Chains A and B, each alone.
Chain A
């Protein structure tokens, strides 16, 4: 079964510092996609970054990068130069085919990030 684990319920970081949010996953499918979403206090789910299981290089999107370690089944999100607006809940998610053969999107429990001035 597909599973996403985020072990950090909350993280604190000072403005302008970098922060790493942890994510490990479990799947037996060779083809899968890993995603990070941001959910600010307003409640919407905002897509941040994607990493494919066959991608050789780590994904980057502006200040976001994904530290993909396939052998360890980890997909940590790195936010560089944190900003006050980065304070939000962050979810790691995985698309994988599963038993049905149809891709379903499984989420972790999330990590609450608070950025202080």
Chain B
């Protein structure tokens, strides 16, 4: 397996534009997590899915953020409209729904909003 695949690796966009981040989890994993990493806040859990269903989106900062998982092999995180304070590294991770197996992370998407 190629691991968790995120795209794009880097994104630079202007304030007010829509941004869509993509994630392909590891085949067979039934949990998917979106994290945001900044120097100030560290790793924040934004939302997680189990069997394609959003379980907890309490970490999503504002209504400008939305996430979907239309099937077991694909998820998106959308920011509309984007703002400079959204600049961060966004990670997607997947795992089996159990406490005793590790989550595998994608390479991350570095988002810069100017």
* Interface of A toward B, CB cutoff 8 Å: 31-33, 35, 37, 43-45, 47, 50, 52-53, 91, 93, 95-97, 100, 102-110
In angstroms, Cα B50 to Cα A21, docked, is 32
B45 touches A50 (CB 8 A): no
Interface residues on B, range: 20 to 34
A50 touches B100 (CB 8 A): yes
- 18 A/B residue pairs, CB under 8 Å, sorted by A: A32-B99, A33-B99, A33-B100, A43-B110, A44-B107, A45-B93, A47-B103, A50-B100, A53-B99, A95-B95, A97-B99, A102-B55, A102-B97, A103-B31, A105-B33, A105-B93, A105-B103, A110-B42
Count chain A CB atoms within 10 A of each CB in B43, B104, B107 and give the residue with the most. Answer: B43
Q: Main SS of chain B's interface residues?
A: strand
* Interface of B toward A, CB cutoff 8 Å: 31, 33, 35, 42-43, 45, 48, 50, 55-56, 89, 91, 93, 95, 97-105, 107-108, 110
